[in-house]
Amino acid sequence: MATESATNTSNLSLKLLIDTKNNKVLFAEASKDVVDFLFTLLQLPLATVIKLLTKESVVGSLGNLYSSVENLNHVYMQPNLSKDLLLNPTILPSSSSVSGLLPSAAINNHSQITPKLYRCNRGCGSGNTVTDVYNSRCGSCSNYGGRMTTEVNYIKGEATATSATDPATSGHSNNGFVKEVVSYMIFDNLAIQPMSTISSITMLNQFNIKDVGVLKEAVFQLGIDEGLKLLKASMESKSVLTSVFLA
């Protein structure tokens, strides 16, 4: 059975209900942050997944596709594009806790690519029109030789956080995807639903558990090792929790 991760940096835990007779996880009790992490996996671009798992361990041929972009000479790329747009897409964590379950370099990877935008070199009335295609024809004065070649400054904006005094959100965290008012059940196949006593009993009936003596609770700490294993297993297995924590 797996033990606590030595690389745990997230302070998140997962309480598993284990069928010791069949050495199988029935379901886990989890907090909002764990569910937010699993939902964040749906946001990850394929290139980020490949980089996190390493090209050699990715199922199928996506690793070869990634290598092809890596090895492609930049002269074959469109002049205003960088390979980093494909190899290092940006994805922000849904909450601060999630960042402790995946390498921060991959999740917070802002490749520092600033888009280049151009306006007409003749300073015509289309000054409020820009393009990212250098030397394209100006739509307003192309008959007079206008070309979009004058670079304009690009200033990246940031979203304003919701006020903590907002009555609609006061007392609850706006981070992540789900609310923290309840615990959640995560099944072995990563199906998720709100936790309740009735639903727990119903699940035991569905699993055909006749002897509760075969059931055991175990708490596992989650860190980067577990986060990467969950990501990999989610693409390969229908018994994700069992393969990660009981292997």
End-to-end CA distance of the chain: 6
Residue 195 · residue 184 · CB < 8 Å: yes
HSE value, Cβ hemisphere, 13 Å, CA-based, for 44: 27
Within 80-196, residue ranges assigned H as helices are 84-87, 104-107
Q: What is the pLDDT of residues 48-85, one digit of tens each?
A: 888 888 887 887 888 899 999 999 998 888 877 788 88
Query: Mind listing the pLDDT tens digit for each residue in 189-211?
Result: 999 999 988 888 888 888 888 89
Task: Inform me whether the pLDDT recorded for 2 exceeds 50.
Answer: no
Residue type, 31: S
How confident is the model at residue 105, as a pLDDT? Answer: 56
For the chain, how big is the Rg over CA atoms in Å?
A: 25
Cβ 18 vs Cβ 246: under 8 Å: yes
Q: Count the residues in the chain.
A: 247
Distances (CA, A) of 114 to 24, 80, 121: 49, 11, 21
User: What's the pTM?
Assistant: 0.70
- Chain centroid to CA 134: 33
Half-sphere exposure at residue 196, Cβ-oriented, CA atoms within 13 angstroms: 5
Residue 83, pLDDT score = 87
What distance in Å separates the CA atoms of residue 75 and residue 89, rounded to the nearest whole number? 20
- DSSP 8-class letter at 60: T
Identify the pLDDT of residue 132: 80
- Residue 65 neighbours by CB under 8 Å, 6+ apart: none
Strand ranges inside the chain, DSSP E: 12-19, 24-30, 117-120, 136-137, 147-152, 184-187, 192-194, 215-222
Give the pLDDT band (50/70/90) at residue 94: low
**Could you state, in order of their start, the residue ranges of all structural domains in the chain?**
1-33+180-247, 117-152
Asked which of 118-122, 210-214, 241-245 is least confident by mean pLDDT, the reply is 118-122
Mean pLDDT across the chain: 80
pLDDT computed for residue 148 by the predictor:
86
Provide φ and ψ at 25, rounded to 5°.
-80, 125
Confidence grade of residue 4 (pLDDT, cut at 50, 70, 90): very low
CA triple 33-44-240, angle to 5 deg: 60
Rounded to the nearest 10°, the torsion over CA 220, 226, 230, 233 is -100
Q: How confident is the model at residue 225 (pLDDT cuts 50, 70, 90)?
A: very high
pLDDT band at 161 (very low <50, low <70, confident <90, very high): very low
Q: Parallel, antiparallel, or unpaired for β 192-194 and 117-120?
A: unpaired
Q: What angle do CA 17, 22, 28 make, to 5 degrees?
A: 20
pLDDT > 90 in the chain, percent:
32
